Amino acid sequence: METDLRHALDRHELELYYQPKIHLASGKIAGIEALIRWNHPEKGLISPDAFIPLAEETGLILPIGKWVIQEACRQTRAWQKAGMTDLQVSVNVSTQQVQPYTLMESIVGALTESGLASESLVVELTESMAMDDPELKIELLNKIKASGVCFSVDDFGTGYSSLSYLQRLPITELKIDRSFIIDLPDNKDGGAIVSAIVAMAHSLGLKVVAEGIETQAQLDFMRTVNCDIIQGYFYSKPLNKKDFEIYAATL
């Protein structure tokens, strides 16, 4: 698999899928999250869970991660030109990418090449990643944020965030981890945590995204706590380029 993965970029076997993020109040698309898939010539479509750990172990995550940012920016700009003028794209980055030169170079290059406005790009870091050497992260992200790029903390609630650091990170969004969503509204403790996260985020001026919404009951609960944005199979699974265009046309 490592040998195949080394050739996957050159052979154009990697593909981005896009999962819509929906404004809870309006039901309109708030943005998309770009998610990588590998079209293996023999094994078919491979999810990132099966190859991203290998890419991180071997260092291949750097060229792959750079390609993801480039392709996400290119495609989003193409959709903006086609009429989805306010479309914003989120991309996930790995720990190896979040280095002073590496991340800055990847982002600046992708934005310049694609012509995408910096505010149309959201970079997602996991909570544990953001809290690993937080002073370095704060300095790096502030430099990139100065260009207008947005940052989001993914999987929020699963780590051990220091609120003093959290308020210093130049983020615009928190994404509540799906583990808190799955048993809603029956899980009272989980519901209390979700409600507290939303209230805290709003008090800091941050938007809140709930991941993993799959049922009407979960959606209704997130509405009661004034969540901003919903993402999950209730609205749509991740879609390839063609299917996303069809989906977007229906909203």
> Can you tell me which residue has the tokens 């749509």?
236
pLDDT at residue 160, as a whole number: 59
Contacts of 194 (CB under 8 A, 6+ apart): 176, 180, 181, 184, 210, 221, 222, 225
Q: What is the pLDDT of residues 144-164, one digit of tens each?
A: 999 899 999 998 877 656 677
Give the C-alpha distances (Å, rounded to integers) separating 204 from 32, 69, 173, 180, 211: 23, 28, 10, 21, 20
Tokens of 241: 């380029």
Q: Is the pLDDT reported for residue 126 higher than 90?
A: no
pLDDT, average across residues 76-90: 96
Q: Is the pLDDT reported for residue 62 higher than 70?
A: yes
Strands 14-23 and 29-40: antiparallel
Provide Rg for the chain, Cα atoms. 18
* Cross-strand pairs, 188: none
Preceding omega of 63 cis (within 30 degrees of 0): no
Share of the chain above pLDDT 90, in %: 74
CA distance 218 to 220: 5
Highest mean pLDDT of the ranges 87-101, 121-135, 167-181, 228-242: 228-242
Q: What is the pLDDT of residues 37-57, one digit of tens each?
A: 999 999 998 889 999 999 999
pLDDT, average across residues 94-99: 87
Q: What band does 98 get if pLDDT is binned at 50, 70 and 90?
A: confident
* Cross-strand pairs, 175: 209
Contacts of 208 (CB under 8 A, 6+ apart): 173, 174, 175, 176, 197, 198, 201, 202, 227, 228, 229
pLDDT, average across residues 238-245: 97
CA distance 188 to 211: 18
pLDDT at residue 162, as a whole number: 63
Please report the DSSP string for 49-77 in residue order.
HHHHHHHHHHTTHHHHHHHHHHHHHHHHH
Q: What band does 129 get if pLDDT is binned at 50, 70 and 90?
A: confident
Q: What band does 114 get if pLDDT is binned at 50, 70 and 90?
A: very high
Tokens of 234: 């209730």
Q: What band does 235 get if pLDDT is binned at 50, 70 and 90?
A: very high
End-to-end CA distance of the chain: 40
Among candidates 149, 213, 204, 203, which has minimal Cα distance to 177? Answer: 213
Q: Is the pLDDT reported for residue 184 higher than 90?
A: yes
* Cross-strand pairs, 44: 40
Whether the CB-CB separation of 79 and 112 falls below 8 Å is answered with no
Q: What band does 243 get if pLDDT is binned at 50, 70 and 90?
A: very high
pLDDT at residue 72, as a whole number: 98
Between 126 and 16, residue with greater pLDDT: 16
